[in-house]
Amino acid sequence: MNRVKPWQSYPEQLQILKRRGLQVEDDEAALRYLARIGYYRLSGYWYPMRLINQSASARQKRPIRLDQFVDGSRFEDAVRLYIFDAKLRLLALDALERIE
């Protein structure tokens, strides 16, 4: 059975990310993005920035990510990826509408 994680405020979420090694240049902007987009939606964009557990990955024969971030990982880069993905999605949907 999956463990239910306790509710965390936006400042608490930001502190968790910082403790795990994610660099944040502008706390206020980061808090606004967490409030507007959400921690779990953004987590897909910082997922590739998380360290890989080499021994567990070898046992499982697939990459197993740790909670810690690769050195130099930045919150702002995850947000930029999210914005790029959103724009790309809109362009793709617009192109599909024209084809239909």
Note the pLDDT tens digit of each residue in 53-96. Answer: 998 889 989 999 999 999 999 999 999 999 999 999 999 999 99
How does pLDDT run across 26-60, given as a tens digit for each residue?
A: 999 999 999 999 999 999 999 999 999 998 889 98
How does pLDDT run across 1-21, given as a tens digit for each residue?
A: 678 889 999 999 999 999 999
| Backbone angle region of 9, left / alpha / beta, with phi > 0 → left and psi within -120 to 50 → alpha | beta
- Asked if residues 45 and 34 have their Cβ atoms less than 8 Å apart, the reply is no
Q: Closest Cα to residue 50, out of 67, 34, 30?
A: 67
Domain residue extents for the chain: 10-98
Euclidean distance between the first and the last CA atom of the chain, given in angstroms as a whole number: 44
pTM here is 0.86
Residue 91: half-sphere exposure toward Cβ, Cα within 13 Å:
6
